[in-house]
Amino acid sequence: MALTINTNPQKPNGEIEETISFPRFDVVSDVSDHHYITSSFTKKNGRDHFPAGSHKKIMQEWKILEKHLPESIFVRVYENRIDLLRAVIVGTAGTPYHDGLFFFDLAFPADYPNHPPMVHYRSFGLRLNPNLYANGRVCLSLLNTWTGKKSEKWNPDESTVLQVLVSIQALVLNEKPYFNEPGHGMWPGRSIWEKKSTAYNEDVFILSCKSMTFLLRNPPKNFEGFVRSHFRERGHVILSACKSYLSGHVRVGYYLNEGSSGGGASSPGPGGCVDVSEKFQGLIVQLYPELVTAFSRTGASLGSLTEQVKFERKTVPFKGEGVLKQKKEKNTSGIARKVFGKIKVALGLKKNGVIKVNN
């Protein structure tokens, strides 16, 4: 199956936009911006050469990917570098990664499948998951880059690249990534951990939105049209989510929209309103115009969503205000007593600190 995308989203003369089919799996030639482009393997006739067994296994991987990729994952392999592969995962609805695009560059080792593929996340220097480092490192048991049971680690006889990609989508880019960090999931359900998870989701969504603007400025090769088309179609949903999160009408990460992956309507929090941190609100207000500009350049239909958002900062009473007030009252009453005492002395009602009583 393939996704239909517009290659020319804006036509000032009103002509019908050109559309092409974007297959979920395809073979391309331009490998120039791949993270592992400098990886060296045995060369033969100017091309990378693998032992027969490794070459056969890689071709099997291609067939598996071509036939079984889910709708939210797209892959490109290279005709002159069969050792390299690029994949993009679309963020799933119901997670703080919804509607984002997450790119991964993979490289097969020369002795594949004895060892798992190397995987690099194109992070733009952002850390938006405990398993995805700012330097691009991907920590996953299946890649042998993280601890796990034997059954969770790479098995040369059974493991595949498709399993790696699906695992990243389901186990890494999930609903509550905070609990991916070791130790954070020891007491799930406790309010303190859930609050930390909610705060983490706020940070994740902000970073995911920043990644969107970076991707639109510098899309990976062979995915330029796909990136533009995706955000042209999903821009209004992302901005609507920002507004819903800002107002506290929807818990961050749980915005669902008709036509989004997962479908359905917006999901409110308990009582129809949720608490959102002022830090998150302030960052959304700053980031929102950047998103509007980035999505508008793709030709996205945004309507009233182009209007700037704002929030009113809550005024929280100073903790010591009550104490200060009490001290002030005490000081005031003390001064009043002194003044009243002086008046009594002046009137002869008080002498040597003793009040006179007239018979």
Active site residues: 139
Count of CB atoms situated within 10 Å of the CB of 33: 14
C-beta contacts of 153-157 below 8 A and 24+ residues apart: 154/115, 154/116, 156/113, 156/114, 156/115
Q: At 57, is the secondary structure helix, strand, or coil?
A: helix
Q: With contact defined as beta carbons under 8 Å apart, do 201 and 178 qualify?
A: yes
φ and ψ of 48, to 5 deg = -65, 135
From 108, 2, 102, 104, select the one nearest 61 (Cα to Cα).
Answer: 108
Please state, in angstroms and as integers, the Cα–Cα distance from residue 7 to each residue in 1, 19, 23, following that order.
Answer: 18, 6, 14
Rounded to 5°, angle at Cα 110 from 106 and 111: 110
Distance CA(52)–CA(208), nearest Å, equals 41
The token duo for 284 is 């959304």
Distance CA(3)–CA(70), nearest Å, equals 12
Bridge partners, 3 (sequence order): 22
Residue 286 exposed, middle or buried by CB count within 10 Å (0-12, 13-18, 19+)? exposed
The token duo for 347 is 């009137």
